[in-house]
Structure 1
């Protein structure tokens, strides 16, 4: 009869893919049990009723993630999932880098009061003051080395630099959430914090066997995206008699939604010959967080009184984008699922 510890080890091993567990499960259980008895040779009965250590469970969970998000040499299905999550990470880092670069340019433009300059945003850091706001905006540039490290295949550096870049975001959001006079904890702020954390979480797919991305397209996307964001922000300044239309066209969730919808529409033409459904799967994974953020901000606009008889543009545009995102997400998810079913799921039985 197996001991309680052995049963618990087998339960933890259920995190692993079935084919891997079938090939290596017995050896792993034997190794774990041997190590457990060796650690407490004078108390075998205590060992038999104990539980797997946190470190052991964490290592199995990490292995399960690595096997399901396959790298080079993995079966087509886990490789497709791995590539999709890796591209989600790159797109998230790209968005952060583009937002930081364009934000610094627009902030400098506003501070210098150059022709056509936009007014400084109302949302100041919790420290207060335009000067602090300008200085604090430069911390967003920390996303740039994180993005470039990921693009060039320096996975460990990318994880460290992304963690560093995320810290100012976390500090700002936590300080604002703890400030009741600044609105406190809101659904929008929690949503923004989760979306900002997605690139950091998705970097888990960059394991030691992750293939290096093609750097050139991602490097080109950085200046192109920055220029496009600045152009949209300048074009969306308040128009006489339609002051809220700019907000409807150029808020960040709106730009995300428009970009995601445009990418989905271009996908059948641009990636027609792809053997693996990596890009449909990537875009399908991006739809839920973008849609959630879009819906949250639309509700905020309505709650703040934006939705009136003459200033309905932000809510109307956001609602249309939300509906289109739902349709696009269903189509992308269906396409990716259908194509994934025709791919082998077996992974290499390797550690």
Structure 2
């Protein structure tokens, strides 16, 4: 075995064992032939483009589509669900914050808003664009346009990570950890909706679901905020409510409600409804929700209301952690077995003779 062939085989370990058993020999032969007859004295190495192509193939195989092995199909369905559910959440929350921003500009006078070139005005414009991008990305995805959804979601994520959204301040480590709440659905979108993934086109009404959820949610949050500002709600009660009203709190609430619905309906669900995709997707989503809450955790509370809110945050962390562990156990029990590895071919049998 030549040095180059050995290195190609090392790169091919990125692929699942069952896939390598069927196609490793022909892939190695194709790579070595394309290398142009280099000898060991040339210290040959696989090209970076070849390594990238193998890595991309590994992702497509492990997150399989129609016709893939059941285990790879389950992983692929779960990752695609992470993208759909994550983008739906961000689109719905974007509707809430967009309505809040429009209400602020409708109620405030121009003197309070500052000049047209003010940093606050520029920040609000960028925020508005980000909200619209999340909503458009979800609508494009459910209408069967994943490529457009990827572009829109990447732009929205780039705007979130832009220092402009931090009011010109440096991007702190807490923001980076909190950003996983936005990055995980986008990464799942990029990885799960590959060229071998099933092309799903949902009904038109699914594209407006974020608006259907976001508008009532905005109304509820607006009423609660108004009652809190008017001191109609006692501060002791308000300190229990407030941690659920920001983005990470809403994410925690959404995850807990979805998990409770899953656990409550799973015993009566048909066979296909008891698969591993949904619990695995929710278990994956519990990780960025945990990280978002950790970034907001504080232990320097100085008054009873702040201490209550810190206790609620800790309770949310524990609830999401336990929920994630239960979902992981449920997904593991329902996960299909790995595909069998075919027996190796004799060393004197060429791939084209199979």
TM category, shorter: 0.7 to 0.9
Conservation of the 8 A alpha-carbon contact between 1:103 and 1:137: no
Spell out, residue by residue over 1:78-113, the C-alpha distance to the aligned partner (whole angstroms, 9 max, x if none). 111101111111122222222222211111112222
1:292 alignment counterpart: 291
Structure 2 spans left out of the alignment, 5+ residues? 343-354
Which residue does 2:160 correspond to in 1?
169
Conserved? CA contact 1:13–1:21, under 8 Å? yes
Does residue 193 (structure 1) correspond to residue 179 (structure 2)? The answer is yes
Q: The residue matched to 2:107 in structure 1 has which SS?
A: coil
Matched residue, 2:136:
145
Residue 69 to residue 347, structure 1, CA distance change in 2 (3 Å): farther
Per the alignment, residue 30 of structure 2 pairs with 31
CA deviation string 1:307-338 (max 9, x = no partner):
52243232121111111111111110001011
Q: For residue 144 of structure 1, report the CA deviation from its aligned partner.
A: 2.1
Change (3 A) 1:53 1:19: same
Structure 1 residue 220: deviation in Å?
A: 5.5
> Is 2:217 the counterpart of 1:229?
yes
What is the root-mean-square deviation in Å for CA atoms of aligned residues? 2.8
Offset of residue 283 of structure 1: 0.4
**2:197 corresponds to which residue?**
210
Q: Is the 8 A contact 1:74 1:347 kept in 2?
A: no
Q: Where does residue 39 of structure 2 map in the other structure?
A: 44
User: Aligned ranges for residues 152-163 of structure 1 at < 5 Å?
Assistant: 152-163=143-154
Correspondences of 1:238-253 after superposition (within 5 Å): 238-239=228-229, 240=231, 241-242=234-235, 244-253=239-248
Q: Name the structure 2 match of 1:58.
A: 52
Contact 1:6 1:33 (C-alpha < 8 Å) held by counterparts: yes
The question of whether the paired residues in 2 share the 8 Å contact of 1:260 and 1:283 is answered with: yes
Partner of 2:347: none
Aligned partner of 2:345 in structure 1 is none
Counterpart Cα distance in 2 of 1:64 and 1:99: 34
Structure 1 CA distance, aligned partners of 2:242 and 2:119?
Answer: 23
Q: C-alpha distance in 2, partners of 1:248/1:128?
A: 31
- Matches of 2:291 and 2:341, distance apart in 1: 33
Matched, 1:134 2:124: yes
The question of whether the paired residues in 1 share the 8 Å contact of 2:82 and 2:188 is answered with: yes
CA distance in 1, matches of 2:316, 2:128: 31
Q: What is the CA distance between 1:255 and its match in structure 2?
A: 0.7
Q: Which runs of 5+ in 1 are unaligned?
A: 115-119, 121-126
2:64 equivalent in structure 1: 70
Distance apart, 1:197 and its partner CA: 2.0
TM-score (norm 2): 0.82
Structure 1 position 201, deviation (Å): 1.1
| 1:86 and 2:73 aligned | no
Taking the aligned partners of 2:274 and 2:208, their CA distance within structure 1 comes to: 24
**Shift of residue 298, structure 1, vs aligned partner:** 2.0
* Separation of aligned partners in 1, 2:322 and 2:51: 39
Task: Identify the match of residue 308 of structure 2 among 306, 313, 332.
Answer: 313
Deviations 1:157-200 (A, max 9, x none): 22222222222222236x749x5xx4x34332111333322222
Distance 1:191 1:232 in 2: 28
Q: How many residues align?
A: 323
